Amino acid sequence: MYLGDVAWPDLEEYFETESLALVPLGSTEQHGPHLPEATDHLIAEAFAREAADRTGYLCTPTINVGVSPHHKQFHGTMWADAPVFRDYVESITRNLAYHGIDRVIYVNAHGGNVEHLREVGRRLRDDEVLYAIEWMWDESIPDLVDDLFEQNGPHGGPKETSMIQYLDPQLVHEDRLEDARDGGVASVEASETVKHGSRTFFDAADNTENGVLGDQTDATAEKGERLFEAATDQLVQLAEWLAGRDFEDLLPRDHV
Amino acid sequence: MYLGDVAWPDLEEYFETESLALVPLGSTEQHGPHLPEATDHLIAEAFAREAADRTGYLCTPTINVGVSPHHKQFHGTMWADAPVFRDYVESITRNLAYHGIDRVIYVNAHGGNVEHLREVGRRLRDDEVLYAIEWMWDESIPDLVDDLFEQNGPHGGPKETSMIQYLDPQLVHEDRLEDARDGGVASVEASETVKHGSRTFFDAADNTENGVLGDQTDATAEKGERLFEAATDQLVQLAEWLAGRDFEDLLPRDHV
Amino acid sequence: MYLGDVAWPDLEEYFETESLALVPLGSTEQHGPHLPEATDHLIAEAFAREAADRTGYLCTPTINVGVSPHHKQFHGTMWADAPVFRDYVESITRNLAYHGIDRVIYVNAHGGNVEHLREVGRRLRDDEVLYAIEWMWDESIPDLVDDLFEQNGPHGGPKETSMIQYLDPQLVHEDRLEDARDGGVASVEASETVKHGSRTFFDAADNTENGVLGDQTDATAEKGERLFEAATDQLVQLAEWLAGRDFEDLLPRDHV
Amino acid sequence: MYLGDVAWPDLEEYFETESLALVPLGSTEQHGPHLPEATDHLIAEAFAREAADRTGYLCTPTINVGVSPHHKQFHGTMWADAPVFRDYVESITRNLAYHGIDRVIYVNAHGGNVEHLREVGRRLRDDEVLYAIEWMWDESIPDLVDDLFEQNGPHGGPKETSMIQYLDPQLVHEDRLEDARDGGVASVEASETVKHGSRTFFDAADNTENGVLGDQTDATAEKGERLFEAATDQLVQLAEWLAGRDFEDLLPRDHV
Amino acid sequence: MYLGDVAWPDLEEYFETESLALVPLGSTEQHGPHLPEATDHLIAEAFAREAADRTGYLCTPTINVGVSPHHKQFHGTMWADAPVFRDYVESITRNLAYHGIDRVIYVNAHGGNVEHLREVGRRLRDDEVLYAIEWMWDESIPDLVDDLFEQNGPHGGPKETSMIQYLDPQLVHEDRLEDARDGGVASVEASETVKHGSRTFFDAADNTENGVLGDQTDATAEKGERLFEAATDQLVQLAEWLAGRDFEDLLPRDHV
Amino acid sequence: MYLGDVAWPDLEEYFETESLALVPLGSTEQHGPHLPEATDHLIAEAFAREAADRTGYLCTPTINVGVSPHHKQFHGTMWADAPVFRDYVESITRNLAYHGIDRVIYVNAHGGNVEHLREVGRRLRDDEVLYAIEWMWDESIPDLVDDLFEQNGPHGGPKETSMIQYLDPQLVHEDRLEDARDGGVASVEASETVKHGSRTFFDAADNTENGVLGDQTDATAEKGERLFEAATDQLVQLAEWLAGRDFEDLLPRDHV
């Protein structure tokens, strides 16, 4: 069920019988010359809405802007500063508990959000308000990702390109895939900006001229569909697993 | 132009020649038994995207959750606490300045956001970073609103109902319009919760049983269309007026 | 009873039998060429002290500086930034609860404080600490204000001028009333700074050359006395109404 | 000149020729069975207004509530939490700089404010915004205080009692001076709550039953007058000294 | 017992039977031409570790950097801004309560930390989490300090010099003691920066050319040993006194 | 050069010729039944001091307590909440810039600090104050770590055990190594708490009974020495590389 579409009386039964919410989060940031800035939040929303449709769990509207200062040198990247983003997500999530939600899956499609969502999850769990975990679609299907792509990217690479080719093909500039590959770098390692074990870069612009990594010509809509189906399946299973837990078992363990 | 749809190189020309952005903001909150929780952000997004289409100015993705604690007693209302919302909007807006944006219109459809957007606008202007003003669609066409409705609501009343009937009719429960009217109140005044000049209520639930005001049976999609066209026209004019100002003239005046 | 005048043992009986406090708040800011910068806090204090005298309810000392950045271009305007003001008022109010106070009327005479006092009131009520409402004197007697003045101002207009003429006449520059009128504007509307429904101004200096609105020559001490008596009567009634409520009834309603 | 009394045009000359402000701060807190809760802010305001009258320097309205949690066990004590108080004073002071004020004397009569005003002063000086120092009346005349009283208190003792006997005698309960002395303690030392060099107390209530220290029967209005005259003289000299400094000399020294 | 040295299972018995912790805090800041920057944290750690050894109470690792902006003009001084320092110490202390610690002695050797540790102690006590008091070694033995030195300094004077001569003699530049004395000042008073009762200085550099006070040639390791033994004895007694209190008796007293 | 050992005049030359500082950070937290709670900060300090000795670069005192809430269930774990830790490290680092430091290596030995140090580094770099990067010793020598151990842990495993066996052998309980292995888990994966791509654990106690991972019996002091030498060599090279950069090249790149 998508929360945005329904009127409040029609939510009563859900809150009486279920306590799980899927919260999609992405980013609005450069994804190279070939992909739209909405890439991450489109992907997150697609997964969360699909899993909600298949399971009946509640999906909220999407948080479209995330923590993306590392892409700021490229036109149009939007971002919230990290402490502000954490507080915003925490506030929204904490307030969901008012309706009886006690477990949340952050359906996330932006790597830069991960650690912040984990920190928010800790705050809410340590306060015993709510149990919120972060799910990043590609981390649920690492073998398939490895099978499909020589070099998946990650940022703006064939993995994300395939997804948008499948989800919203007219947003992909198919004629720029070679340029995307040739103007970027194959991987972070290829940039040689990790020195003696220390990451000396902070921004995508420290590593790549056009903002992306990997071989975009390796992407197809068919691969996107396989990724989407496989990861949706994982998300569905995660939601069902989570819904089946006792809340007490989700709280922090006692002191030894 | 919608920022979410484009790739970064295609924004270069815009940032070289223009410095205005439209940022849609709404809420996800109860709108009575007949309207969806997304009502406000759907309306805000529709205006911002339409005005952007007509003028060519840049429109960003929508901030879907706003300051709505006053609707919390009704299932599904989402909200960010006010200080957190202000900081989030401020951070996103301030960061837009990195790309050269120096003037923003917050295209808003939720009354509860108004004062917070004004406060953010002050911070940014007093810091001489950027000039951001708040535009609330119905305040741009007060005469038309008065002409069309005996009692416009405001919250969840015929004004907002007409808009959703026009923008996304399948989200309106037409069969509940009478119930919406009969289970709510005609106006805030009718609740008699302003005592001796003091507002003694804080929440919608202090004033109304079902969360809404006004006579919803007075709504039609045709009225919605008239409202949409008229207010879009106002927004277009506002954007053009704003784009035509010198930045210096938008900054605070000097000390007398 | 005025808290500042009494020794602590003489408050014991009050805290045992009553739980209401009147907290006066104003501003220290420009009020045109004819009125003193203390105008707002003098008015707030006068109302709160008078109502306390007539009813026996407790009145605290006055918070003299409020949220007035919009008057900063004029010499002498003092202000606290909005987030800081909210936290200061919240802290003081929250700490009153330590003595058993569970309901507060913010006796306010500065429009710029209103939304901030409402936000503080929400925080305290949602935390179930204390119920605090804002009372603005002129909003309690709108009909009388309309009867007495063609154009009441509001800021530094005949309404406020009459009040100071009555409360502390030597602080009014009677010889400057015509200048005040001629150097200002009749109303915000007259400044034509609301464009297509959007307030494009942030500061008084955006609207008026001398900082004030309305026709100051319309003011008299007699009108001030009528305003003072009428609004004091409203405040007394509000205090008595509030004192008569059960605390439980002042808390937020339950979820539907 | 008292800022609260004047209209903005009459401040223009001051800000053109001077850059000093006196800001009175006190507390609203228990001062034993014999003195009013306003004691500290009455004293601070009296000094600041008198020194302003004698010198022509600008005096602002008073900040009536300070950092007094250590008196909370006694009815009526008001306080702001320390971080909030610091931010409030900082904000007000920082904003004075907008009018050209670059040096401030905090005319203080509450020991509990001292360290916080020092911290605010450091922030403003290190930011090179403004130079603000704290002046506590009794620390300017230690010899006279020692001459006049065996045991000055400090809190609610004969020193403060004498001051209120002089400034506002009807607020002193003369018939309770013996009780004040007999129900309190002679000094903090007498409470024996400093253990092995560590202060083990946090509140006045840890040391004294009625909230005060010293021998209140030693107080007279005549002593109060001598204190007031002597300390006012010190404040006047301090203001004149400070006004004579170059702003550059008030800023932090350079790194060695 | 020193917490840093032990494995977690070996702490179980302590937390079952005791609830006191010693937390050493100092600074890293200039101490003149003759003493190392670590002076304060070396001293604090020495006292805390010694008292822990003698009593069996738990000693934590040391917080090495404190509130020292007033020494910033001299090379190498490190500091945390005061609000940040308070929050850091509060957070660490509050989290100790998770293991059952309910009383803490801040073993402190830096005057600039005192007021901040007191403020943290108040927060924790008022929240009824934990009772934390500050102990400054030299304040526990004022008579001995007075006996041993004409002019003890305080900062970088013979008192601190003697301590380092005893604790870690190779860190003292014995050949610079005369220079230290001759390039500094005898006392704060000698700097004549207290004007009419107001401290007009904020930094050590406002009072002294080389950063130190007192007569360093008056220091010896033997005096250091006497100071160390005497103050350790005081700390041991304080710890035993504190361990013997009921927790209820350490909490704030009830309202009168 | 170790900052804590020297007197301020002896730092003058360093700050005139160099602008790099090594700042060691660790944690104080459980490391299983066999290792001391100080493990991480002992390791960090050892690397930083050794690299400083070999290169002449400045090393500051150690920040002994980090972000370790995930170990709280085990006796003695100390931690600062993440936002507080970030602010503390930021404040100390920012203030180093006052002396001319413009590049910092956080010599870190606690995985839980990594993301926070990265965030602090971003703040300082984006503000163009200072360039601070995080170095984690074991990430500089991944091949050697893989060669030496079947399963390195990481937390409390043979890698860290070897290090303490080498650095401070009497702190290792050699007789508990088998217990450490048998009571813990081989790896995070072995705990099967990553579900469908989502980490469902927040605390070490969610994964392991005794707080540690890996096969501790695989540790020796000789392996510790090899690790220490190899990683020190990496740190020395990193410091020399960093010292050789132009500051301009360390700042964020320009907008494309």
- Rounded Cα distance between A63 and A4, Å, is 13
Residue E151 has pLDDT above 90, yes or no: no
For residue B71, what pLDDT is reported?
A: 98
Nearest to F83 among A83, A198, A203 (CB): A83
Asked which of B140-154, E24-38, E62-76, F229-243 is least confident by mean pLDDT, the reply is B140-154
In chain E, residues 95-134 whose CB comes closer than 8 Å to chain A: 98-99
CA distance B80 to chain A (A): 5
Torsion of CA A5, A11, A13, A16, to 10 degrees: 140
CB contact (8 A) between residue D133 and residue E196: no
What is the share, in percent, of chain E residues with pLDDT greater than 70?
Answer: 100
User: What average pLDDT score do residues B218-226 get?
Assistant: 98
User: What average pLDDT score do residues F188-199 get?
Assistant: 93
For residue A142, what pLDDT is reported?
A: 97
- Rounded Cα distance between C43 and C49, Å, is 10
Residue B188 has pLDDT above 90, yes or no: no
For residue B134, what pLDDT is reported?
A: 98
Residue C172 has pLDDT above 90, yes or no: yes
For residue D188, what pLDDT is reported?
A: 87
Q: Give the residue ranges of DSSP H helices in F70-169.
A: 82-96, 114-126, 142-148, 158-167
Nearest to B4 among A11, A38, A95 (CB): A38
Token pair recorded at residue F164: 């303490």
Chain F partners within 8 Å of D256 (Cβ) = 8
- Rounded Cα distance between A248 and A129, Å, is 11
Residue E207 has pLDDT above 90, yes or no: yes
pLDDT band per the 50, 70, 90 thresholds, residue A163:
very high
- Rounded Cα distance between D138 and D162, Å, is 12
Residue B66 has pLDDT above 90, yes or no: yes
User: What average pLDDT score do residues B84-91 get?
Assistant: 98
- Rounded Cα distance between E90 and E94, Å, is 6
- Rounded Cα distance between D31 and D39, Å, is 7
- The Cβ-side half-sphere exposure at A65, using a 13 Å CA radius, reads 30
Residue C73 has pLDDT above 90, yes or no: yes
CA distance C153 to chain D (A): 17
Q: Does B221 touch chain A (CB under 8 A)?
A: no
What is the share, in percent, of chain D residues with pLDDT greater than 70?
Answer: 100
Q: Does B255 touch chain D (CB under 8 A)?
A: yes
pLDDT band per the 50, 70, 90 thresholds, residue C35:
very high
Strands D198-199 and D194-195, how do they pair? antiparallel
What is the share, in percent, of chain F residues with pLDDT greater than 70?
Answer: 100
User: What average pLDDT score do residues B149-157 get?
Assistant: 90
CB contact (8 A) between residue F140 and residue A235: no
For residue B153, what pLDDT is reported?
A: 83
pLDDT band per the 50, 70, 90 thresholds, residue B17:
very high
pLDDT band per the 50, 70, 90 thresholds, residue C34:
very high
DSSP letters, A88-109, are HHHHHHHHHGGGT--EEEEEE-
Which structural domains are found in chain B, ordered by start? 3-250 (3.40.50.10310)
Residue F226 has pLDDT above 90, yes or no: yes
- Rounded Cα distance between B25 and B106, Å, is 7
Considering chain A, what is the average pLDDT of its residues? 97
Chain C partners within 8 Å of A8 (Cβ) = 256
CB contact (8 A) between residue A5 and residue B41: no
Most F CBs within 10 Å, among E78, E90, E167, to test the F interface? E78
Chain B partners within 8 Å of D8 (Cβ) = 256
Token pair recorded at residue C97: 């609860």
Please tell me which residue of chain E has the smallest CA distance to F209.
E9
Please tell me which residue of chain D has the smallest CA distance to F12.
D256
Other Cβ atoms less than 10 A from the Cβ of C233: the count is 15
Q: What does the radius of gyration of chain B's CA atoms come to, in whole angstroms?
A: 19
Q: Which chains touch A (3 or more CB pairs under 8 A)?
A: B, C, E, F
pLDDT band per the 50, 70, 90 thresholds, residue D151:
confident
3-state DSSP of chain B: CEHHHCCHHHHHHHHHHCCEEEEEECCCCCECCCECCCHHHHHHHHHHHHHHHHHCCEECCCECCCCCHHHCCCCCCCCCCHHHHHHHHHHHHHHHHHHCCCEEEEEECCHHHHHHHHHHHHHHHHCCCCEEEEEEHHHHCHHHHHHHCCCCCCCCCHHHHHHHHHHCHHHCCHHHHHHHHHHCECCHHHHCCEECCEECCCCHHHCCCCCCECCHHHCCHHHHHHHHHHHHHHHHHHHHHHHCCCHHHHCCCCCC
For residue E62, what pLDDT is reported?
A: 98
Residue C153 has pLDDT above 90, yes or no: no
CA distance F97 to chain D (A): 12
Point out which residues pair with F63 in neighbouring strands. Answer: F25
Q: Give the residue, F191 or B23, on which the prediction is more confident.
A: B23
| Residue C223 · residue C169 · CB < 8 Å | no
Considering chain D, what is the average pLDDT of its residues? 97
- Rounded Cα distance between E27 and D18, Å, is 40
Residue E196 has pLDDT above 90, yes or no: yes
Question: Do chains B and C touch, with touching meaning 3 or more CB–CB pairs less than 8 Å apart?
Answer: yes
CB contact set of F81 (below 8 Å; sequence gap of 6+): E91, E95, F67, F69
- Rounded Cα distance between F111 and A238, Å, is 27
Q: Which chains touch F (3 or more CB pairs under 8 A)?
A: A, D, E
In chain E, residues 19-58 whose CB comes closer than 8 Å to chain C: none
Q: What does the radius of gyration of chain A's CA atoms come to, in whole angstroms?
A: 19
Residue C151 has pLDDT above 90, yes or no: no
pLDDT tens per residue across span A241-250: 999 999 999 9
Residue F152 has pLDDT above 90, yes or no: no
- Rounded Cα distance between B187 and B143, Å, is 18
User: What average pLDDT score do residues A67-91 get?
Assistant: 98
In chain A, residues 174-213 whose CB comes closer than 8 Å to chain F: 195-200, 202-203, 205-206
